[in-house]
Structures are given as structure tokens and as C-alpha cells.
């Protein structure tokens, strides 16, 4: 089965007419909301805005980045990945039948509309950024582009959407102007580094990806080579961030990011001894240091260092 017929077919026998209680929230995957919410917070810090005066706008932006746009992207992904999930994670709402029929698609469409409406309330910059996030989410998961079918492009789109876009959005919304070049550069570097994190996240789905034709990097390169590529993607952009912070006269923040990168290097070295088993472990250790480096960089930008 392939093409349109595959997308329309249900991966599991449906026994319900409506979603089970809690299935919609599970479809939106709250556990995935943290990265874009944190990136939006970093962008808010970098913007220089006074939190006491802009707290309501910041809260609205964090809600947009996490529960709305990220939640919408998860619903879109689960709908178009339901056949892969039937292999890898059959307990998920759609393949398990707890989200019957085309309810997964309707939730994705409805949440897209809610996200765009909420983004519009944040002004022109908010609407533009939300439209970009929505476009990336659908392009990542849905035919005909389905960027996730190729690990190079899909992980790049995901990293930019999860890290760079929320950061840039916050800086633009809170200043009502295009972000400074330094803000753009560091936000884009962290989005590029997130490509490696996305690659490690693909390790849990190798078998289903291989059987369904999704060419993730672990499928294309094998676990060992993919893990090494992921490490380079994570490390090199952060090293460039350190260099930029030094060039911007922020030696303390540069030292913090460098120390956190050294901690990640230790975790990478351990993870490379058994990538398939230790990739989840790295996501619980190295990624914490990654996001702390983001915040340190944001404070450097807030302090007034810039290009």
C-alpha cells in the first residue's frame, strides 16, 4: 500500500466514534513543548525587554510557541506518521484507536487555525512568525514535501522551527522590529545545532523508519556514523557561538558556554560507545547543558553586546 491510499487507510481497527478522554492532549505531546518555549524565553531575554512591563506579552508568546504551534506540529506529525507509529509506537492515540477515524487530522487543522489567530494577536511580527512555523510543521510531515522523509532536510527544518524561530519571534514581537544581526546569528546557530539533537531523537524509530521508507540519518548512515554526525552538528555551531560572544566582548558568557560545551563533549564521548542504547541518555544529560548555554548567550545579548 502506498501513496494516497496509504495515507487514507487506518493503521488500526477503529472501535470508537470520538477520541478517548485525554487522547487529544496526548496527541499534542506536552513533553515536546519545552524546547520552543525555552527558545522563546531566550529570545525575550535577548530582546532587552523589561519583564515586569512585558510579562503578559511574554506569557502569550510562550503559550504560542509551546501548546499551540508545537502542539499543532505534533498533531500534524502523528497524523501523517500513523503507519510508522503503528510499527514503532502502537500505543499512541491514532494507531491504538483512541483517536479514531480522521479525528487526528481534524485536531491538526483546528489547532493550526487557533495558532494563527493567537499569533495575529501578537501583532504583525507574531502573525508572520506563526505562519512560518505552521508552514514548516506541515512541510515537515505532510506530502508532497514531507521533509522528514530525508534526515538532512527534515532535521534542519525541525531544529530551525524548535529553536531559531521562537527565539527570533520573541525578539521581534517584544521590540516590534527586526532582530539585531547578533540575535539572528546566535538564534540560527542554535537551530543548526539542534539538527544533531533531532538526529539522536530518530534513533528510537529506526525499524519503523526503515520499513516505511523514511530516510532518517540513522537509517541512511547507520547508528554509529549518524551519532558522530549528530555530535558534529551539535558541537560546531556552539563553538562558533563561543567565538561570537568573545568577539562581542562577553567573556563571562563565552566561558560559560564553552564549559557547558565541554560537558556535552564528555557526554558525547560516552554516547558514541553505544549510540542506540545511549542516545536517550544523552538527550537527558547533554541537552540540559545545551539549553543552559542558550540562556547564557541570551543574557550576553541582553547586556548590550552586539554587532
For 51, which DSSP code? H
Residue 306 pLDDT > 70 = no
Q: Are 286 and 264 in contact (CB under 8 A)?
A: yes
Please count the other Cβ atoms lying within 10 Å of the Cβ belonging to residue 128: 16
- Sorting pLDDT into bands at 50, 70 and 90, what band is 116? very high
pLDDT tens digit string along 66-76?
A: 999 999 999 99
Nearest to 240 by CA among 182, 161, 302, 154: 182
Distance CA 36, CA 216 (A): 22
- Asked whether the predicted pLDDT for residue 134 surpasses 60, the reply is yes
Per residue in 173-232, pLDDT (tens digit) is: 999 999 999 999 999 999 999 999 999 999 988 988 898 889 999 999 999 999 999 999
Confidence label for 10 from pLDDT (cuts 50, 70 and 90):
very low
Buried b / exposed e across 241-266, counting CB within 10 Å, b at 16+? bbebbeebebeebbebbbebbebbee
- Judged by DSSP in three states, 215 sits in strand
The pTM of the full predicted model, rounded to 2 decimals, is: 0.91
Amino acid at each position: 500500500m502506498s501513496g494516497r491510499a496509504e495515507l487514507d487507510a487506518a493503521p488500526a481497527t477503529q472501535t470508537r466514534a470520538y477520541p478517548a478522554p485525554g487522547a487529544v492532549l496526548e496527541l499534542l505531546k506536552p513533553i515536546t513543548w519545552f524546547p520552543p518555549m525555552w527558545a522563546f524565553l531566550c529570545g525575550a531575554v535577548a530582546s532587552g525587554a523589561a519583564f515586569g512591563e512585558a510579562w503578559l506579552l511574554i506569557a502569550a508568546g510562550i503559550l504560542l510557541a509551546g501548546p499551540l504551534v508545537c502542539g499543532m506540529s505534533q498533531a500534524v506529525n502523528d497524523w501523517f506518521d500513523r503507519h510508522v507509529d503503528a510499527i514503532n509506537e502502537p500505543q499512541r492515540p491514532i494507531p491504538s484507536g483512541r483517536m479514531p477515524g480522521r479525528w487526528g487530522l481534524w485536531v491538526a487543522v483546528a489547532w493550526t487555525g487557533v495558532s494563527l489567530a493567537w499569533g495575529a494577536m501578537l501583532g504583525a511580527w507574531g502573525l508572520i512568525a506563526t505562519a512560518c512555523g505552521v508552514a514548516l510543521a506541515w512541510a515537515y510531515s505532510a506530502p508532497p514535501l514531507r521533509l522528514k522523509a530525508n534526515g538532512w532536510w527534515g532535521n534542519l527544518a525541525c531544529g530551525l522551527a524548535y529553536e531559531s524561530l521562537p527565539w527570533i519571534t520573541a525578539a521581534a514581537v517584544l521590540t516590534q522590529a527586526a532582530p539585531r544581526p547578533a540575535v539572528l546569528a546566535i538564534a540560527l546557530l542554535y537551530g543548526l545545532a539542534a539538527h544533531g539533537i533531532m538526529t539522536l531523537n530518530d534513533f528510537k524509530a529506526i525499524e519503523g523508519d526503515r520499513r516505511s521508507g523514511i530516510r532518517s540519518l540513522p537509517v541512511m548512515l547507520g547508528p554509529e556514523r549518524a551519532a558522530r554526525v549528530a555530535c558534529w552538528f551539535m558541537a560546531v555551531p556552539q563553538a562558533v557561538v563561543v567565538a561570537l560572544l568573545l568577539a562581542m566582548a562577553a567573556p563571562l558568557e563565552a566561558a560559560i558556554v564553552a564549559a557547558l560545551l565541554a560537558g556535552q563533549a564528555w557526554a558525547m564521548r560516552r554516547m558514541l560507545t553505544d549510540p542506540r542504547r545511549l542516545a536517550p541518555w544523552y538527550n537527558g544529560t547533554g541537552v540540559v547543558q545545551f539549553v543552559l548555554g542558550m540562556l547564557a548567550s541570551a543574557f550576553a545579548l541582553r547586556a548590550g553586546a552586539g554587532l
